[in-house]
């Protein structure tokens, strides 16, 4: 098996749960547009880019808008979302994540962020994890959304790792497909029934260690 040189992490759903803030901000927009938007609907937006999320939301409400109007709505939603994330603290890092990242650092494994979010750098600063990352690729740096592997391939390139030397950590199916399309191994974070295409699925980082990662992949 290939050595592990880099671990590439998705942000929302893997390192923090920002989906709850996205939900409040999207719901407020739907309320203003006059239709209901539920937590179940919100599941469809996880891992999806901002503009694609808006398209899905408008499809749910059966509402048509011009490109210019969509830009305004997306900006409104983002303004509200940013208010929430600007209040985030390190307490919001999901259980076990910091310890796992520190374990990787000790072993000299590169730590990379591969997120669809254009707000990813701000979130990493808020939760004080930015210094642990060797490279960050966010929604501002990619032209193709997951399941396209662009975000992960760029991340691997930034730390000079071959795709076969990278392990991606993802909570969304599209992200797992992106990792596979990029020739990378992948750990799914969440439900094994949903994320079955991953090489390994764990519920979270609570009891997960670098030793367990190596036992599975090395
Ligand atoms: P923004 P991830 C994704 O983050 C979220 O899961 C998704 O719900 C959101 O629409 C997307 O980022 C874009 O976020 O509006 O901040 O650019 O899971 O790829 O870390
Ligand atoms: Mg995610």
Q: Are 216 and 1 in contact (CB under 8 A)?
A: no
Which ligand 1 atom sits nearest the alpha carbon of residue 53?
10
Which ligand 1 atom sits nearest the alpha carbon of residue 74?
15
Of 32, 64, 85, the last residue of a domain is 85
**Same domain (yes/no): 74, 107:** no
Q: Is 17 one of the annotated active-site residues of the chain?
A: no
**Same domain (yes/no): 41, 117:** no
Q: Report the domain count for the chain.
A: 2
**Distance of alpha carbon 4 from alpha carbon 17, whole angstroms:** 26
**Same domain (yes/no): 79, 100:** no
Nearest to 49, CA basis, from 158, 133, 175, 179: 175
**Same domain (yes/no): 81, 156:** no
pLDDT by residue, tens only, the chain of 218 residues: 569 999 999 999 999 999 999 999 999 999 999 999 999 999 899 889 999 999 999 999 999 999 999 999 999 999 999 999 999 999 999 999 999 999 999 999 999 999 999 999 999 999 999 999 999 999 999 999 999 999 999 999 999 999 999 999 999 999 999 999 999 999 999 999 989 999 999 999 999 999 999 999 98
Angle value at C-alpha 193, between 170 and 154, nearest 5 degrees: 20
CA of 50 to the centre of ligand 1 (A): 7
What pLDDT is attached to residue 175?
A: 95
Angle value at C-alpha 16, between 147 and 91, nearest 5 degrees: 170
**Same domain (yes/no): 80, 161:** no
147 within some domain: yes
- Residue 126 CA to chain centroid, in angstroms? 16
**Same domain (yes/no): 71, 123:** no
CA of 10 to the centre of ligand 2 (A): 5
Ligand 1 touching residue 10 (CB < 6 A): yes
**Same domain (yes/no): 101, 43:** no
151 within some domain: yes
Of 31, 66, 85, the last residue of a domain is 85
**Same domain (yes/no): 115, 67:** no
What pLDDT is attached to residue 29?
A: 98
**Same domain (yes/no): 210, 115:** yes
**Same domain (yes/no): 174, 161:** yes
Ligand 1 touching residue 173 (CB < 6 A): no
What pLDDT is attached to residue 8?
A: 98
Ligand 1 touching residue 127 (CB < 6 A): no
Q: Is 31 one of the annotated active-site residues of the chain?
A: no
159 within some domain: yes
143 within some domain: yes
Closest ligand to Cα 51:
1
| Enclosing domain of residue 150 | 6-17+94-217
Nearest to 145, CA basis, from 113, 171, 178, 121: 178
1 within some domain: no
Nearest CA to ligand 1 atom 15: 50
Ligand 1 touching residue 11 (CB < 6 A): yes
**Distance of alpha carbon 170 from alpha carbon 176, whole angstroms:** 6
**Same domain (yes/no): 13, 24:** no
What pLDDT is attached to residue 1?
A: 59
What pLDDT is attached to residue 30?
A: 98
**Same domain (yes/no): 73, 99:** no
**Distance of alpha carbon 131 from alpha carbon 72, whole angstroms:** 34
What is the CATH number for 76?
1.10.150.240
CA of 2 to the centre of ligand 1 (A): 30
Test site for ligand 1: of 23, 54, 115, 148, most ligand atoms within 8 A of the Cβ: 115
């Amino acid at each position: 098996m290939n050595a592990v040189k880099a671990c590439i992490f998705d942000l929302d759903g893997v390192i923090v749960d920002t989906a709850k803030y996205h939900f409040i901000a999207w719901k407020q927009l739907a309320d203003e547009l006059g239709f209901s938007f539920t937590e179940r609907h919100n599941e469809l937006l996880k891992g999806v880019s901002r503009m694609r999320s808006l398209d899905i939301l408008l499809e749910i409400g059966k509402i048509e808008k011009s490109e210019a109007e969509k830009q305004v709505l997306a900006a409104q939603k983002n303004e509200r979302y940013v208010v929430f994330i600007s209040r985030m603290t390190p307490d919001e890092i999901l259980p076990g994540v910091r310890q796992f990242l520190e374990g990787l650092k000790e072993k000299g494994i590169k730590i990379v962020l591969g997120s669809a979010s254009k707000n990813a750098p701000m979130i990493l600063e808020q939760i004080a994890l930015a210094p642990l990352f060797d490279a960050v690729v966010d929604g501002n740096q990619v032209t193709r959304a997951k399941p396209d592997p662009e975000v992960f391939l760029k991340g691997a390139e930034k730390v000079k790792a071959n795709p076969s030397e990278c392990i991606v950590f993802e909570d969304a199916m599209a992200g797992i497909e992106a990792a596979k399309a990029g020739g990378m191994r992948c750990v799914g974070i969440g439900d094994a029934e949903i994320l079955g295409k991953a090489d390994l699925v764990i519920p979270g980082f609570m009891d997960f260690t670098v030793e367990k990662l190596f036992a599975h992949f090395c």
